């Protein structure tokens, strides 16, 4: 069953659920699923609404135009998505393969519903994985002097392939503010640490030096500030003093795979809403 998904947020007040539900009822839509959250601290209201696409009796443009008039009256911020459209995802990598292989495997098995038309890397090392899944691989080397030129090449490829989402699957380069601004909330990064602890490079060594008892991974939207974007998904694993930095890294790989795939899936399923650098992530509806 294909669906229409509305993501709605606004200042919290009484009557919002009734007003929005009555609107769609009056338009002849069957509400398949509704999730909502009231943030009493920020006085903010969030709603994720699924409608049956078969009930659409107008064009999609008219649906959004008419809802836009209703939303303006109530002061709603909103997005509308249609699940018969497959998002197009670009994956950026460097030399580390585990997150790339995991994403490609999940997409191949149908667990991540999207198309992956290209992989971009600043190193040639992982081309064999792209070949295995028959995904075009673009090697774009980078130096300190050519960073802006290389990033412009990436932008050209993303535009050419009509990309909706960029996934940094251990892409060990810092994106410029111009890039993250242009792709705001459309670039997901995996950081191999439980942010905000151990930001930046080599967190496993610093975790070892601190004698941590838990290691983790964080997936977040990339922003102008390094490792400071809205957090989408996190997880941790308990460890002990017997593990070396290499042992911590090995365990951490599994956490990274799971956290990144869950974050990408939540984005593809339109379950994430952002307000003031904080995410609301609704549970999957099965």
Cα–Cα distance for residue pair 188/270, rounded to 1 Å: 14
Using an 8 Å Cβ cutoff, are 215 and 255 in contact? yes
Q: Does residue 235 have an active-site annotation?
A: no
Cα–Cα distance for residue pair 1/204, rounded to 1 Å: 44
Q: Between the CA atoms of 173, 174, 180 and 183, what dihedral angle is there, to the nearest 10 degrees?
A: 10
Cα–Cα distance for residue pair 66/137, rounded to 1 Å: 42
Six token digits for residue 112: 């991540």
Using an 8 Å Cβ cutoff, are 181 and 216 in contact? no
Please count the residues of the chain: 286
Cα–Cα distance for residue pair 2/80, rounded to 1 Å: 13
Give me the residue label for tokens 């836009």: 68
Cα–Cα distance for residue pair 111/154, rounded to 1 Å: 27
Cα–Cα distance for residue pair 68/65, rounded to 1 Å: 5
Q: Which of the following is catalytic: 225, 227, 235, 254? A: 227
Query: Which residues are known catalytic residues?
Result: 227
């Amino acid at each position: 069953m294909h669906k229409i998904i509305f993501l709605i947020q606004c200042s919290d007040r009484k009557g919002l659920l009734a007003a929005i539900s009555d609107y769609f009822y009056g338009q002849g839509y069957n509400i398949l699923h509704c999730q909502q959250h009231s943030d009493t601290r920020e006085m903010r209201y969030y709603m994720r609404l699924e409608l049956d696409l078969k009930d659409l009796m107008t064009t999609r443009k008219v649906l959004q135009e008419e809802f836009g008039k209703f939303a303006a009256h109530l002061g709603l911020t909103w997005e509308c998505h249609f699940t018969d459209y497959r998002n197009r995802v670009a994956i950026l990598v460097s030399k580390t393969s585990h997150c790339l292989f995991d994403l490609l495997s999940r997409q191949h098995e149908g667990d991540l519903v999207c198309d992956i038309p290209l992989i971009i890397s600043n190193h040639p090392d992982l081309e064999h994985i792209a070949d295995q899944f028959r995904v075009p691989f673009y090697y774009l080397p980078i130096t300190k002097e050519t960073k802006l030129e290389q990033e412009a090449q990436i932008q050209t490829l993303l535009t050419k392939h009509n990309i909706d989402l960029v996934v940094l699957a251990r892409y060990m380069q810092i994106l410029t503010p111009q890039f993250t601004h242009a792709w705001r909330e459309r670039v997901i990064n995996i950081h191999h640490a439980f942010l905000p602890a151990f930001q930046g490079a080599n967190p496993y060594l610093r975790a070892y030096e601190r004698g941590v008892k838990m290691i983790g991974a964080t997936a977040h939207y990339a922003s102008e500030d390094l490792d400071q974007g809205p957090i989408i998904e996190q997880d941790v694993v308990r460890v002990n003093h017997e593990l070396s930095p290499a042992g911590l890294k090995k365990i951490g790989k599994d956490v990274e795979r799971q956290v990144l795939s869950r974050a990408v899936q939540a984005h593809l399923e339109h379950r994430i809403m952002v307000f003031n650098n904080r995410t609301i992530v609704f549970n999957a509806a099965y």
